[in-house]
Chain A
Amino acid sequence: MPGADKETDLSERIESFLSELKRCGSGAGSLRGSAETARETTALLRRITAQARWGNAGDLMEIIRKEGRRMTAAQPSETTVGNMVRRVLKIIREEYARSRGSTEEADQQESLHKLLTSGGSSEDNFRQHFAHLKANVIEAINELLTELEGTTDNISMQALEHIHSNEVIMTIGRSRTVEAFLKDAARKRKFHVMVAECAPFCQGHEMATSLSKEDIETTVIPDAAIFAVMSRVNKVIIGTQTVLANGGLRAVNGTHTLALAAKHHSTPLIVCAPMFKLSPQFPNEEDTFHKFVSPHEVLPFTEGEILSKVNAHGPVFDYVPPELITLFISNIGGNAPSYIYRLMSELYHPEDHEL
């Protein structure tokens, strides 16, 4: 039966993606960029849409939500996965609404008036069957994929507006987005980049090598020197793992120090973050926010006797509160941290915040 074959093929793909997610980032940071993860997730969701058995939008959303929950549980620190699931859910909602003939606008805006008049949940409406819904949804997901392909380019295109000649830029660790951003600017302008090495994983070293290959004047500084060097810096440009719902960041270790130093010297702090990093999560102490890896880098395993006497921790992320951030540069333009909530409501449906 070809149908059963398809089904097993699909579940195999999902399993392998899950196990890959679980294993990725075993060392410092993630092995792949989150852009790649986002693309892979979306492609997988498209496959689910195409191959799974569903009769109406409600069923499909249920399937996607279920798989999405498993995917996010596999690697809680990789928020991109959850974000992509929410984007796809939103697409399904929109396509369903369009098929029903109601305008997107009307469906999207939850005005007080509407809440009062409509009553009941909107969920039960998703039971209607539309023959062309599948094609439409897949079409829309394809559009999303194209958008994802172009994010880094879209961000780096704006580089010349922000980086001027003979400026001193500081960055921390290695972010593929920032790397592309700086390289793009370097084509036209001359500037100096300071890279904080981001101990103990020292992704900063990689970043510096990569930048200097493009003939960008680069200096690597230890994390402890961030404050000392800050007075000379014109702009701080950093990447992030996640943009939180309040406009704060979850970024590599040491970013908070950097942001505080920038604030002290009133140096603008610019965050390059594609839209898919926007997550409806709020910062709290709970479970998934932190990620601790093996303390090997902090205190090598070969250290011997001392290991039984001390506790070593290897945290990966820092929280940066929104008041320290000047500007977000995303693929759709620059935004202030205070505007994040608005972007959030455009991208995700409120009912999908909790998968």
Chain B
Amino acid sequence: MAGKAGKPNRPRKADKDEEEQPLLQAVLVADSFNRRFFPITKDQPRALLPLANVSMIDYTLEFLTSTGVQETFVFCCWMASKIKEHLRKSKWCRPTSPNVVHVITSDLYRSLGDVLRDVDAKALVRSDFLLVYGDVVSNIDISQALQEHKQRRNMDKNVSVMTMIFKESPPGHKTRCEDDDIIIAMDGKSKRILHYQRAQALKRLHFPMNIFHSGSDEFEIRFDLLDCHISICSPQVAELFTDNFDYQTKNDFVRGLLVNEEILGNQIHMHVTKDGYGARVSNLLMYDTVSSDTIRRWVYPITPEANFADQEGQSCTHSRHNVYRETGVSLGHGSQMEENVLIGRNTMIGANCTISNTVIGANCVIGDNVTLDRAYIWNRVHIADDVKVKQSVICDNVEVKHGVVLNEQCVLAYNVVVGPDITLPEGTVLSMHHPDEEDDEDDDEFLSDDNDVGYRKDKTKQKGSLFNPAEVGSEGKGYRWKTSSLEDTEEDDRAQFTLSNITWISQVYSNCSFPSVFQNEVHGTLQRGLDENISCDNLVLEINSLKYAYNISLKEVMQILIRVVLEFPFHQQGAQISTAQYSSHLLPVSMTLLKKWAPVFKNYVKRPQDQLDCLASMEEVFLERETHWAALVKVLMSMYQLEILEEEGIMHWFNQGSTTDKSQQLRRNQGLLKFIQWLQEAEESSEGDE
């Protein structure tokens, strides 16, 4: 640390070496904490859902490894054992893996905030780390951003706590997720984020004026950015989450930091990249786009045929028009794979099928005359003859019988059977889980994939209610869910969004708050301190936190503190007490108080200016109560004896030209004059001694 204080070249260099040495760490949050993928995620955690036949978490880990991350902490909650099992089998846990993966599980994680608080509690990260979700697909080279981040931190002594990575993509881009539409105001030169706002469903935008006064002459307000959900964080981020236990999401965090920027002094920067690809599979629409982007090789070198996850038998070949085939694929006579098709191993496809923009998993059987367009078919699915599927997701072990037509945005969750001869309207969601199972939980505060573990076990399954043949066909099995989750109209998230808005507003409100509230709070604190005999250190801590909470300057804190202490007897005894009573009370009570809290005062009264402020506020208090002027001397005396105030300060205050008659009167008070005289003598005598 000594090296940091000293600016000369040598210690700085040493610092740099030190900072480059620690291995790059990453925190991977393998839980989404929302239920966009419901009901699919009832059976399988989102991180393990296959995207182009490879689990999403493998993409994220591959990205991390290729950027040089050497240690990754995977946090899981919902179905943690499945994720653990998957990772144990994967190449990431082989002894030769360059990226050491630790899995940390807990049922208590309810949000990103919880995870980061745990990171802090366990002290897992030692230096800057990457924060990603388990469903991020990316090939962005972040070394440059990392470099910039480090430079900023070296320069400004840890002011910048986070660098967010954005990808340039103009509005209307298919990889832009509507939920993540954000408007960012940034400082063009330093790349500092000044304002961050989600633009989803907002018709009007507000920018606080103060962002334009921050001293920079170059501004950018951008709407063409795609949040890759990759951020470079310093260890402070975890600490900040601990300090602010109301932060749940990254959004809360960013907004909180920006609002409190002046107080906490933390900044957030951004890095905009044009190359590379980065997106988060945050809902089924994004699943569709990211899958097709992967097939179209936007994420090169992470492509299906690269077999980066290194799984046995997963190798596939790539031929023209982005047609990928794994081993053992059989294609019937007259069937055509038009473009952007990936077919998993041992899948059999019948005659005269037309397949385009589709991913088919392993061991599927597909009949004759089937038309698949933008279909995502996972493993072991049986599709009979004459089926038409358009832009739909079909999960493992589903059976689609003869003549079924799936319109846009249908979801068939695990083990569902549909048909025969039925047309599912747009946006149908079928699952083996009854939607009523969910009703209770919808009120749940934390809307997450993971909160229904208990419920599901308690609940006796109402299998009595039969499957509705009008919904799933005469031989079908499954329940229809109300809305399609392909459309990202998630009310719960909206609610959360508005909720966070409100808290934000209240924060702003309290920012311009009144000292009187603060005064009451301080009074309460001191009272409590007296009653419960709390140590001075803790009182200081509490007053400090109140200071931040009410946005009070140091000067005001002192004034209020003085006022509170001096008025303490009034509060205790009622306002109508005589001088004698006051001084007698103040003497035993307030003096002991003063003595007791001397360290508190000393903490706030440090510079000569502080003394003056302190005296001025003391004067103010006494000016309001003329009858008690005699007590002033006693207070001053004891303050002097406790070494809170010094002679010079008092003399300076006394000699200061007073503005009002009353204060001049005060200064002519007999007792005070005597005290001053005594002080002068004492000073002279001490000078004489020397």
Contacts and interface: CB of A to CB of B under 8 A. Distances in A.
Interface string B277-290: 10000000000010
B167 interface: yes
Given A12-B96, A301-B298, A311 B172 contact: no
Given A23-B66, A287-B318, A302-B274, A307 B174 contact: yes
Nearest to B275: A296
Main SS class of interface, B: loop
Interface stretch (B26-34, B299-307, B658-666): B299-307
B301 A301 contact: no
A290 B289 CA distance: 25
A303 B277 CA distance: 13
Given A8-B95, A311-B339, A22 B139 contact: no
Contact of B301 (A25, A304, A308, A311): A25
B315 interface: yes
B214 to A, nearest CB: 28
Interface string A312-338: 111000000000000000000000000
B140 to A, nearest CB: 11
A234 to B, nearest CB: 37
B640 to A, nearest CB: 70
B168 interface: yes
A144 interface: no
Interface in B334-370: 339-340
Given A22-B301, A307-B174, A286 B274 contact: no
Contacts of B298: 294-296, 301
A301 B306 contact: no
Interface in B66-100: 66, 94-98
B308 A294 contact: no
A26 B301 CA distance: 6
Interface residues of A, number: 34
- Counting chain A CB atoms within 10 Å of each CB, the highest count among B65, B94, B174 belongs to B174
Interface in B166-185: 167-175
A294 B96 contact: no
B663 to A, nearest CB: 68
A308 B174 contact: yes
B321 interface: yes
A304 B318 contact: no
A319 B292 CA distance: 28
Interface in A47-69: none
A305 B301 contact: no
Contacts of A300: 274
A11 interface: yes
- Counting chain A CB atoms within 10 Å of each CB, the highest count among B95, B98, B289, B297 belongs to B297
B322 interface: yes
A313 B303 CA distance: 13
Nearest to B298: A294
- Counting chain A CB atoms within 10 Å of each CB, the highest count among B96, B97, B139, B175 belongs to B96
Contact of A22 (B94, B296, B306): B306
B170 A304 contact: yes
Contacts of B66: 23
Contacts of B244: none
A13 to B, nearest CB: 9
Interface in A274-307: 285-287, 290, 292-296, 300-305, 307
B170 A22 contact: no
A295 B306 CA distance: 16
Contacts of A23: 66, 301
Contact of A11 (B96, B173, B296, B315): B96
Nearest to A304: B170
A290 B300 CA distance: 14
A168 B317 CA distance: 42
B317 A287 contact: yes
Interface string A1-45: 000000010011011100100110111000000000000000000
Contacts of B171: 304
Given A292-B297, A301-B277, A307 B173 contact: yes
Given A12-B96, A22-B306, A287-B317, A294 B172 contact: no
Contacts of B322: 292, 311, 313
Given A22-B308, A301-B169, A295 B318 contact: no
B10 to A, nearest CB: 35
B277 A19 contact: no
B576 interface: no
A140 interface: no
A221 interface: no
B319 A287 contact: yes
A82 to B, nearest CB: 16
B340 A311 contact: yes
A355 interface: no
A220 interface: no
Nearest to B99: A19
Contacts of B172: 304-305
A305 B298 CA distance: 15
Given A11-B96, A22-B308, A305-B174, A295 B321 contact: no
A300 B175 CA distance: 13
Contacts of A290: 318, 320
A145 interface: no
Contacts of B167: 301
Nearest to B301: A26
A15 B96 contact: yes
Interface in B159-206: 167-175
B93 to A, nearest CB: 13
Given A19-B98, A285-B319, A302 B169 contact: yes
Interface in B467-487: none
Nearest to B65: A19
B668 to A, nearest CB: 78
B168 A26 contact: no
Q: Which 4 A-B pairs have the closest CB atoms?
A: A287-B317, A294-B300, A15-B96, A308-B174
Interface of A: 8, 11-12, 14-16, 19, 22-23, 25-27, 73, 285-287, 290, 292-296, 300-305, 307-308, 311-314
Given A294-B277, A295-B297, 7 more contacts: A23-B66, A25-B301, A285-B320, A302-B274, A304-B169, A304-B172, A311-B322
23 contacts: A8-B95, A15-B94, A16-B96, A22-B306, A22-B308, A23-B301, A26-B139, A26-B300, A73-B307, A285-B320, A287-B317, A287-B319, A290-B320, A295-B297, A296-B275, A301-B167, A301-B175, A304-B170, A304-B171, A307-B174, A308-B289, A314-B297, A314-B300
